[in-house]
Amino acid sequence: AQSVTQPDIHITVSEGASLELRCNYSYGATPYLFWYVQSPGQGLQLLLKYFSGDTLVQGIKGFEAEFKRSQSSFNLRKPSVHWSDAAEYFCAVGAYQAAGNKLTFGGGTRVLVKP
């Protein structure tokens, strides 16, 4: 069975500082990996995804993530955080299906941004 672990429940970072969110997965085959961001009371917005190819993936809003198969990790990074980045971030692994991906989500990491 697939699973996703996000070890950090909360992270507080100063505006302008760098951010790294950890994600570890367990999956029996080649994983399809995603990072989503959720603002309070809102749905999810896809930041980036990894299917294959280059292990460093660029996403929206200045985010990037690196797939490391040897470590079963897919950590999300941003060099300089903006106050608007305060939100909940979810890592997910997908089971490839004929019509869309069935996702298993990690527990989420809440990011707080200090002025």
Partner 1 sequence: GAVVSQHPSWVICKSGTSVKIECRSLDFQATTMFWYRQFPKQSLMLMATSNEGSKATYEQGVEKDKFLINHASLTLSTLTVTSAHPEDSSFYICSASPGRGEKLFFGSGTQLSVL
CB of 42 to partner 1, least distance (A): 6
DSSP assignment letter at 62: G
Pick between residue 9 and residue 115 the one whose CB is nearest to partner 1.
9
| Cα-only R_g, the chain | 14
Instruction: Specify which residues 74 forms β-bridges with.
Output: 67
**Percent of the chain that is helix, strand, coil (3-state, to 5):** 10, 55, 35
Residue 99 touching partner 1 (CB under 8 A): yes
Pick between residue 2 and residue 72 the one whose CB is nearest to partner 1.
2
Binding-site size, partner 1 (CB under 8 A)? 25
Among 25, 34, 50, 74, binds partner 1 (CB under 8 A): 34
Q: Phi first, then psi: give them for residue 69, nearest 5 degrees.
A: -65, -40
Residue ranges in 37-96 that form contacts with partner 1 under rule CB under 8 A: 41-46, 49, 51, 90, 96
d(CA 80, CA 76): 13
Residues that bind partner 1 (CB under 8 A): 34, 36, 41-46, 49, 51, 90, 96-108, 110
